[in-house]
Amino acid sequence: MTPLSAETEIRVRFSEVDMLTIVWHGHYVQYLEEGRQAFGEKYGLGYMQVYDQGFSIPIVKLNIDYKNSLKFEDSAIVETKFVNTDAAKLIFHYIIKNKHTGKLIATAETVQVFVDKEGQLSLTNPDFFSVWKKKWIRGN
């Protein structure tokens, strides 16, 4: 089964680089966010769609492996892949590549959990997410 994935393009802005014109490492977290937003738009799992169902999905784990640097005015492609799990969480794997050279810039993973409007962690998949998985994931 091919994992669900989405791609988005990032263009490095001047405000994201240091005096050597290299992207500061913390900005890669924003690039991952843009990747998740692109995924949500493509598959109907955006932040507001989740919120409208009574949940938020905070990140509880983040890992980034930096391989190379981006510089001012570089363009990069962020590929965001959904990792299916039975647990009540969202797991995404990311690959960031320089758009023009194809050079691998970073790989990453995030884990998000479902929290209801009262701030309670959901230990089971919310109903709307189970319906979403049946629509998009074969074998559910």
Q: Where are the domains of the chain?
A: 5-136
Who contacts 79 (Cβ-Cβ below 8 Å, separation ≥6)?
A: 5, 6, 7, 35, 94, 95, 96, 97
Who contacts 13 (Cβ-Cβ below 8 Å, separation ≥6)?
A: 72
Q: What pLDDT shows up at residue 78?
A: 98
Q: What pLDDT shows up at residue 3?
A: 84
Cα distance between residue 133 and residue 80, in whole Å: 17
Q: What pLDDT shows up at residue 104?
A: 98
b/e sequence 94-129, b meaning 16+ C-beta within 10 Å: bbbbbeeeeeebbbbbbbbbbbeeeeeebeebbebb
Who contacts 29 (Cβ-Cβ below 8 Å, separation ≥6)?
A: 62, 64
Contact 103, 91 (CB under 8 A): no
What are the mean pLDDT values of the chain's consecutive 10-residue runs (140 residues total)?
89 96 96 98 96 97 98 97 97 98 98 97 97 83
Domain 5-136 has CATH 3.40.50.280: no
Give me the amino acid identity at 49: Q
